[in-house]
Amino acid sequence: MIRVAILGYGNIGRAAEAAINAAPDMELAGIYHHNDSLEDMQADVALVCTPTREVEQYATRVIEKGICTVDSFDVHTQIYALRQSLTILNQVNRAVSIVSAGWDPGSDSVVRALLLAMAPKGITYTNFGPGRSMGHTVAAKAIAGVKDALSMTIPLGTGVHRRMVYVELEEGANAAEVEALLLKDDYFAHDDTHMIVVDSVENLNNVAHGVNLVREGVSGDTHNQRFSFNMTINNPALTGQIMVSCARAAVRMQREGRYGAYTMIEIPPIYLLPGDEETLIRSLV
Amino acid sequence: MIRVAILGYGNIGRAAEAAINAAPDMELAGIYHHNDSLEDMQADVALVCTPTREVEQYATRVIEKGICTVDSFDVHTQIYALRQSLTILNQVNRAVSIVSAGWDPGSDSVVRALLLAMAPKGITYTNFGPGRSMGHTVAAKAIAGVKDALSMTIPLGTGVHRRMVYVELEEGANAAEVEALLLKDDYFAHDDTHMIVVDSVENLNNVAHGVNLVREGVSGDTHNQRFSFNMTINNPALTGQIMVSCARAAVRMQREGRYGAYTMIEIPPIYLLPGDEETLIRSLV
């Protein structure tokens, strides 16, 4: 049995716990909250389910104990740097980290890589939503006069998105002033953004999300090759599940002595799955 | 530059040639026809583009020269056995084979593996077509009284398919008798099959094909996770392209000393792509 610890117990941590409990080859090796000591951690792999900005710090503490990590670090522009710094740390401590193991970055990245191999020339569009954007929601909440907010991402196709921002105003705040601040915020200034004042943001909350990933391209010298990948999902449930599947890959790669940090496009897909190789190949290939 | 040879020069071999010519990191190392000697072959990897039943025999001759191979062997029930026998041969000859590197088996297999990791419980349906089924077309052509035939696969959903069989009759053949033989043939007896007599099968030919792969499943304990992968493609162009992308992976795995035979679900997706790791990770993840 693979012993899997959870660090951070928000939406993703709870979803990961359910995925560990459902896995035939894993057992829960403890749940660690924000300020817990990691001194007693006895695990093969830890899922770092903290906010993205705390991932590296927590992962470092775990890896220094020789324990593998999986995170769903989601700032696309900083993924490579995280992978590089964790690579060195893992090589020193003989462990393996899978970084950015969610659905985007994560499984969508695998689909993008596969489609590029299938049609090397062409354009890939990743259309997100409808679903809540965490980054945009946090940005909207930071606007003066906003008591609570929810920013929904609406796909308009070809990678263009509309932002539907539902806001609960603070007592005495002026809706027009809040809207003016919102529309010039860098998170919203470049997209078609609509602000809607509501009585309760809490009542609108829904963790559903979606993706429509499209590629139209060329295989060899043949044009008009068309591909799409679609999903409508519970966001934390999928993220937690993918982290758990990647935990399996991390432990296997550690056993093979392939110490370092990897993104999902660097992992053989079969490593994500429980069960013996022959059964998996016979049923999936 | 990776030197890539082509064995067999039908639809797939020609498509592979175009994909090699379009690849920035490859050069064509010769095209070998059916009875050519392989004595002088100077290549890093050979694409075995022969009919499926001849794949093992030709791959064996190539691997014995220490040259990697890629094939698109497509008899699902025999893939594991091929992988096992080529694994031993590659280990002896310090080479790598990628077997069943097409779209199904192949890229569809990767999608099925990924979706299983994302939602471990649930059902995956692979719906094929509309497009020509090679196996069914060959079976229809073998029926007494059939001069030429084309069997189209029509997806009805949930993995159920209709067979539309267009036949050109031999002089004096009786359509009702041919249809009776066709409908009881094991290739057609289990599906909704329609036979249509035409003047010219040649005029109907079209190498387009399609896939609609659907999974509805459970991530952790969360149900109603929905995924689909769709494509409409030129069949030989995609198969040839995927074989060429897998040739890159074969050579890389040989350099890493990972001698053996692998299906596509056992390969890191990034190995399929040209270019440096950092650029690929930054652009795809």
Q: Is A263 in contact with B281 (Cβ distance < 8 A)? A: yes
State percent of chain A over pLDDT 90. 98
B222 touches chain A (CB under 8 A): yes
A15 touching chain B per CB within 8 A: yes
* Best CA proximity match to A251, nearest among A96, A117, A119, A59: A96
Q: CB distance B118–A242 less than 8 Å?
A: yes
State whether A242 and B117 contact (CB < 8 Å): yes
A111 found inside a domain:
no
Task: Identify whether residues A15 and A94 lie together within a single domain.
Answer: yes
One domain for residues A133 and A166: yes
Do A17 and A79 belong to one domain?
yes
The residue range of the domain holding A170 is 121-219
Distance CA A227, CA B262 (A): 25
Q: Which of residues 239-258 of B touch A (CB under 8 A)?
A: 240-242, 244-245
What is the Cα–Cα distance from B8 to B12, expressed in whole angstroms? Answer: 8
Looking at the fold, whether B85 and B135 belong to one and the same domain comes out as no
Which residues in chain B have their CB less than 8 angstroms from residue A116's CB? 272-273, 284
ipTM score of complex: 0.97
A137 has a chain B CB within 8 A of its CB:
no
Domain count across chain B: 2
Same domain, B99 and B141: no
Residues A126, A94 share a domain: no
Q: What are residue A103's DSSP bridge partners?
A: A106
Chain A interface includes B154 (CB < 8 A):
no
Report, as an integer, the average pLDDT of A62-72.
98
Question: How confident is the model at residue A97, as a pLDDT?
Answer: 99
Q: With CB atoms and an 8 Å threshold, state whether A241 touches B232.
A: no
What interhelical angle do B55-63 and B79-93 show, nearest 10? 10
The DSSP 8-state label assigned to residue B103 in this structure reads B
Does B46 contact A at CB distance below 8 Å?
no
B1 touches chain A (CB under 8 A): no
pLDDT(A135) > 90: no
Report if residue B231 sits inside a domain.
no
Residues B181 and B271 in one domain: no
Give the domain-ending residue among A170, A192, A219: A219
Residue A99 maps to a domain: yes
Task: Please check whether residue B91 touches A, CB under 8 A.
Answer: no
Residues A159 and A192 in one domain: yes
Asked if residue A112 is part of any domain, the answer here is no
* Residue owning tokens 């769903």: A72
| Residue A135 resides in a domain | yes
Query: What is the model's pLDDT at position B166?
Result: 98
* pLDDT for position A34: 86
Task: With cut-offs at 50, 70 and 90, classify the pLDDT of residue B35.
Answer: confident
Q: Is residue A114 part of a domain?
A: no
Residue B31: give its domain's CATH number: 3.40.50.720
Assessment of whether the complete model's pTM goes beyond 0.95: yes
Beta strand pairing status for B208-219 and B192-197?
unpaired
